[in-house]
Amino acid sequence: PLQERISGVALDVVIVTALASISLRVLGNNLLPFLILAIAGIVWNIWAFVFLAPRILPRYWFERGIGDMGQSMGVTATGILLIQMVDPDNHTGAFESFAYKQLFFEPIVGGGLFTAAAPALIVQFGPSVVLLLTTGLLAFWLMFGLWNFKRMRKTFRQANL
């Protein structure tokens, strides 16, 4: 119980400090581009949660998908908070799945290698080339995920029969 309280307070501090660091002046000066990107991001995240999560995540898709959606719509702490809300006693293992995924995600995309390389790649090759590259990577991983996890779902269903 004490550890849960400490982690709960720490999570609250992370969320409050993230919100407090937003510059309202910069946000106001760029409101239209911000709204366009925000709406596109929200639509993508909802579509991915409703359409992709049930097809890619064979077990406990809601609990596991809500954490990824929360992270995509905010920060890692948002994903963790949503997982703790839907599975407070961790019966599904969604928290562990999220944590294991982070070991691969964070060093590459979440503030890691690609985040550091993206500005240099855009300057060197232009935004269109980088957009095409990332679109190709997205298409590859979507096809791989849908194909691979379709087999896993089928195997999982057969094992439960």
pLDDT at 161: 55
Buried b (16+ CB within 10 A) or exposed e, 47-59: ebbeebbeebbbe
Find out whether 98 and 68 touch, Cβ atoms under 8 Å: yes
> Where is pLDDT greater, at 118 or 155?
118
Cα torsion 9, 10, 11, 13: sign: positive
The whole-model pTM stands at 0.72
- Between CA 100 and CA 143 the distance in angstroms is 22
pLDDT at 51: 92
pLDDT at 70: 92
- Between CA 58 and CA 39 the distance in angstroms is 29
Question: Please, which pLDDT band fits residue 92 given cuts at 50, 70 and 90?
Answer: very high
Percent of the chain with pLDDT over 70: 99
